[in-house]
Amino acid sequence: MEIKPIAHFRSPFATKFGIPRQSGIVPQLRGRIIMEPQYASAEALRGLDGFDYLWLVWGFSANAGAPVHLTVRPPRLGGNARMGVFATRSPFRPNGLGLSSVRLEGVSVDTAEGAVITVSGADLMDGTPIYDIKPYVAFTDSHAAARSGFADTERWGTLKVEYDKETLGCMDGAEAEALLRVLEQDPRPQYHDDPQRIYGMPYGQWDVRFRVADGILTIVEIVGSR
């Protein structure tokens, strides 16, 4: 079976670094789905605005050609323990497909970019190909009592984020709030623990530089201009 993108995603993340590790954990984070011309019609999107959430089926495009292993090291387990690839949401998968649940914020057909679906809570990199969009249906898709394997027992801790107010003055309120929620999730690889190291994270048109020590992430500076 050959599949082709029906849309591409626009996100503040130009690289994989900093992208939330799951959809929904940073609900403030907004993105846009830009439909391909053959699907950019009111007919194709009719009725979509009647749903609050969508499923996105997409491709790990940045991992093209990467080797696939039968076991992987989930970040939630500290990058030390191995699990079978199919018991994880690792991006290194046999067919390189991702699945995300996102909140639908709006549908616009006639924009300068064509048909655009605005969503929040996505965990996709800028330019990610989207292969399908399906409505989230609560009475079949939600299983409140379901077990979640090691995700039930290994909680993901967040960081305290410290910064000078002037540092975030270059961003509008919504953009700054989303950035802070992203940084709380600890963007670093799990095997990194150097309190002196300064990391650079591309975010929109900004380069956000920070360090982490003793559970506190300190924003050192934000470089860039509109």
List domains and CATH numbers for the chain.
Answer: 7-141 (2.40.30.70), 160-223 (3.30.2310.20)
Residue 182: Cβ-neighbour burial (10 angstroms; 0-12, 13-18, 19+): buried
Q: What is the dihedral of CA 115, 119, 124, 127, to 10 degrees?
A: 20
List of the chain residues with pLDDT < 50: 226
CB-based contact 69:146 (threshold 8 Å): no
Displacement of CA 98 from its chain's centroid (Å): 11
pLDDT the model gives residue 156: 76
| Residue range 145-171, pLDDT digits in tens | 999 988 888 777 899 999 998 888 888
pLDDT the model gives residue 117: 98
- The number of beta carbons lying within 10 Å of the beta carbon of residue 141 is 12
Displacement of CA 95 from its chain's centroid (Å): 19
**Rounded to two decimals, what is the model's pTM?**
0.91
